[in-house]
Amino acid sequence: MCEAALPEAAFDLVHARYVLIHLPHADRALERMLSALKPGGYLVLEEPDFSAAHAEAGPAEFRSSFAAVQRAIAHMFASRSMNHAFGASLARRLGQAGVVDVRVDDQRGAHPGGSALAWMMALSTRQLADQYLRTGEVSAAQLRAYEGYARDPACSAVHYASVAAWGRKPHN
């Protein structure tokens, strides 16, 4: 992890988007972000929750491939001692860190095959294919079917939830 030097109590706002899910010591990074905030300053975090993913519509083969890729994602994160549902833990983590006035916005929506998000997820899956295959949760044929799912406008899926959580550093 990059240990960036941050000044103490220097910022009114600290924002991070899709960062903490990738860090093996996310709680340490959260502590550093909070220490950089002035009392009364706001912390805004946005993280994905891949546990929310599910196929909504499409042929059974495609839905099955979608589920297999989701199992591979969960397995890959777990093998790295990381949480694929990190976004779902934001409110709890902020509360445990002493953040007050915590609010959460959880956005998830089904995206049809052929949409920009579906295609981005297919490209990400293509890039991570070897890692997904090593999990044993998905086959090469299922990875190809997943890409077909991402192209077919008759299919739709929730690929992940995007969770935003924010609150203030106490004045004490």
CA atoms within 13 A on the CB side of 18: 6
2 located within any domain: no
Please report whether residue 4 resides in a domain: no
Q: How many domains does the chain have?
A: 1
pLDDT tens-place string over residues 9-62:
999 999 999 999 998 889 999 999 999 999 999 999 999 999 999 999 999 999
In a domain, 84, yes or no: yes
Is residue 6 a part of any domain in this protein?
no
Total H helices, total E strands in the chain: 6, 7
Amino acid at 60: A
Element (H, E) at 78: helix 60-79
Q: Hey, what are 169's tokens?
A: 């550093």
Question: Do 85 and 144 meet the contact criterion of CB atoms below 8 Å apart?
Answer: no
Residue 27 located in a structural domain? yes
Angle at 76 between CA 74 and CA 82, to 5 degrees: 80
Whether 5 is in a domain gets the answer: no
pLDDT tens profile 112-166: 999 999 999 999 999 999 999 999 999 999 999 999 999 999 999 999 999 999 9
**What global pTM score does this model have?**
0.88
- Nearest C-alpha neighbor of 125 from the set 72, 86, 77: 72
CA-to-CA distance for 134 and 138, rounded, in angstroms? 9
DSSP 163: E
From edge to edge, which strands make up the β-sheet containing 100-107?
Answer: 11-17, 37-49, 161-168, 100-107
Residue 99: which domain range?
11-168
Residue 2 pLDDT class (50, 70, 90 cuts): low
